[in-house]
Amino acid sequence: MSDDPYAIKTNPLLVVLSGPSGVGKDTVLAGLKKSNHRFHFVVTLNTRPKRPDEAEGVDYHFVTKERFAEMIERDELLEHAVVYGDYKGIPKQQVRDALASGKDVLMRLDVQGAATVRRLVREAILIFITAASEDELVARLRARKTEPPDQLQLRIAESRQEMKRASEFDYVVINRESAVQDAVKDVLAIIRAEHCRVQQRVVTL
């Protein structure tokens, strides 16, 4: 680092939002998209068919399983996983191009995906989103009414196990019911603080 404090250069950051189902990751992400911060929001690849309310390049990039397999073989994915029989993944080139533009890169991943990114990119910033309590988390999962009872119980059990992995992250942000804007402000504060570090993170892929 330069000894001249006026010559400090801030590097773009790679930020991962993660946490169990039901904590409101998508809601926090939506709030961040409304902020004035210069983010590149990573668009995940997905092999499942596009739903009527989804837009290509906005919600996901929809690709065939054959194309996805080619990208795995060519080591073009930063992270990928099987989700209910379909594949999701993060293209490395999309992240590289965004970092090269100087923008902070923000991606939303499950807890396992976040662990993969931490292993591959040590300078990534991992933020764990959580509900205010386990009771609130379970209540949110039940209120979604998107799964039959047996799958719901499995989802709740998985979320409880994922909560135990919070210590693997750099930061924890509580997304309280009806106070999502506070969680958004906390995430932005973390990013601002990271840009003020004397020893800047340097993300390389």
Could you tell me what percent of the chain has a pLDDT over 70? 95
CATH number of the domain within which 162 lies: 3.40.50.300
User: Residue 52 — very low, low, confident or very high, per pLDDT cuts 50/70/90?
Assistant: confident
Q: Which residues contact 165 (CB under 8 A, 6 or more apart)?
A: 111, 115, 128
Q: Which residues contact 190 (CB under 8 A, 6 or more apart)?
A: 125, 127, 171, 173
Q: Can you say whether the dihedral through the CA atoms of 57, 60, 64, 67 is positive or negative?
A: positive
Q: Are residues 155 and 129 in the same domain?
A: yes
User: Residue 6 — very low, low, confident or very high, per pLDDT cuts 50/70/90?
Assistant: low
Q: Are residues 28 and 125 in the same domain?
A: yes
> pLDDT value at position 2?
57
Mean pLDDT of the chain: 91
Q: Is residue 201 part of a domain?
A: no
Q: Is residue 203 part of a domain?
A: no
Q: Is residue 75 part of a domain?
A: yes
Q: Check pLDDT > 60 for residue 25.
A: yes
Question: Which residues are part of the catalytic machinery?
Answer: 51, 144, 155
Q: Is residue 202 part of a domain?
A: no
> pLDDT value at position 38?
92
User: Residue 105 — very low, low, confident or very high, per pLDDT cuts 50/70/90?
Assistant: very high
The β-bridge relationship of strands 61-62 and 45-46 is: parallel
Segments forming the whole domain that contains residue 107: 1-38+103-196
pLDDT in tens, 180-203: 999 999 999 999 999 999 889 999
Q: Per the structure, how many domains does the chain have? A: 2
Over residues 84-108, mean pLDDT: 93
> pLDDT value at position 167?
95
User: Residue 85 — very low, low, confident or very high, per pLDDT cuts 50/70/90?
Assistant: confident
pLDDT in tens, 130-159: 999 999 988 888 887 767 888 888 888 989
**Can you tell me the distance from the alpha carbon of 176 to that of 183, in angstroms, rounded to the nearest whole number?**
8
Q: Are residues 124 and 188 in the same domain?
A: yes
Asked if residues 35 and 144 have their Cβ atoms less than 8 Å apart, the reply is: no
Q: Which residues contact 99 (CB under 8 A, 6 or more apart)?
A: 12, 14, 105, 203, 205
**Spatial CA neighbour of 103 closest among 40, 151, 193:** 40
Could you tell me what percent of the chain has a pLDDT over 90? 69
User: Residue 42 — very low, low, confident or very high, per pLDDT cuts 50/70/90?
Assistant: very high
> pLDDT value at position 8?
65
Identity at 65, one-letter amino acid code: K
Residue 64's region, left for phi above 0, alpha for psi from -120 to 50, else beta, is beta
**Can you tell me the distance from the alpha carbon of 166 to that of 185, in angstroms, rounded to the nearest whole number?**
20
Over residues 35-41, mean pLDDT: 94
